[in-house]
Chain A
Amino acid sequence: MEALIAIVIGTLTACGVYLSLRGRTFPVVLGLTLLSYAVNLFLFVMGRLTIGQPPIIRDGASYADPLPQALVLTAIVISFGMTAFVVILSLRARAEMGNDHVDGKESE
Chain B
Amino acid sequence: MMSHLVIMPLLLPLLTGILLLLLRGSATELQRLINLAATLGLVAVALLLLIQTGEGQVEVYRLGNWSAPFGIVLAADRLAAVMVLVTGLLATGVLLHGRRVGSYFHVLFQMQLFGLNGAFLTGDLFNLFVFFEVLLIASYGLLLLGGGRNRTRAGLHYVVLNLVGSTLFLFAVGSLYGVLGTLNMADMAVRLAELPESDLGVVRTAGLLLFAVFALKAALAPLHLWLPGAYGYTSAPVAAMFAIMTKVGAYSILRVYSLLFGPDSGPAAGLLDPWLIPLALLTVAAGTLGMLACRRLSQQAAYLVVVSAGTLLTAFGLGGIDAVAAGIYYLAHTTFAAAALFLLADVISRARGEHADRLVTGPDLPRGQLLAGVFLLIAIAVSGLPPLSGFIGKWLILQSSIGNPWMPWVLAVLLITSLLGVMGLARSGSQLFFDTDGWAEAGPATRLSDLAAPLVLVLLGIVLVVYAGPLYEFSRAAATQLMQPSAYVEAVLQTAEAGRIR
Contact = CB atoms under 8 A, between A and B. Distances in A.
Interface string B152-179: 1101110110011011001101110110
Contacts, number: 85
Contact of A90 (B140, B156, B164): B156
A102 B164 CA distance: 15
Interface string A40-63: 001100111000000000000000
Given A32-B160, A74-B130, 6 more contacts: A32-B163, A71-B177, A74-B126, A79-B166, A93-B153, A103-B153
B166 A102 contact: no
Contacts of B133: 78, 82
Nearest to A98: B149
B146 to A, nearest CB: 12
Contact of A43 (B137, B164, B166, B174): B174
A23 interface: no
Interface in A66-108: 67-68, 71, 74-75, 78-79, 81-82, 85-86, 89-90, 92-93, 96-97, 102-104
Interface in A1-54: 16, 20, 25, 28, 32, 35-36, 38-39, 42-43, 46-48
B79 to A, nearest CB: 26
B226 to A, nearest CB: 12
Contacts of A82: 133, 137, 163, 166
A66 B133 CA distance: 23
Nearest to A32: B163
Given A46-B174, A96-B149, A85 B140 contact: yes
A56 to B, nearest CB: 13
A97 B170 contact: no
Contact of B149 (A42, A43, A47, A97): A97
Nearest to B136: A82
Contacts of B137: 81-82, 85
Given A74-B126, A82-B166, A85-B137, A46 B178 contact: yes
B373 interface: no
Indicate the size class of the contact surface on chain B: 20 to 34
Most A CB within 10 A of own CB, among B126, B159, B163: B163
A97 B174 contact: no
A104 B153 contact: yes
A93 B157 CA distance: 11
Interface in B276-322: none
Contacts of A85: 137, 140, 159
A75 B163 contact: no
A97 B160 contact: no
5 contacts: A35-B163, A43-B170, A46-B175, A82-B166, A102-B156
A89 B177 contact: no
10 smallest A-B Cβ distances: which pairs? Answer: A46-B178, A39-B170, A43-B174, A46-B174, A35-B167, A104-B153, A96-B152, A39-B167, A93-B156, A42-B174
A79 to B, nearest CB: 8
Contacts of B157: 102
Interface centre among B152, B166, B170 (most CB of A within 10 A): B170
Contacts of A20: 160, 164
B147 interface: yes
A85 B153 CA distance: 15
Contacts of B144: 89
A68 B126 contact: no
B148 interface: yes
B174 A93 contact: no
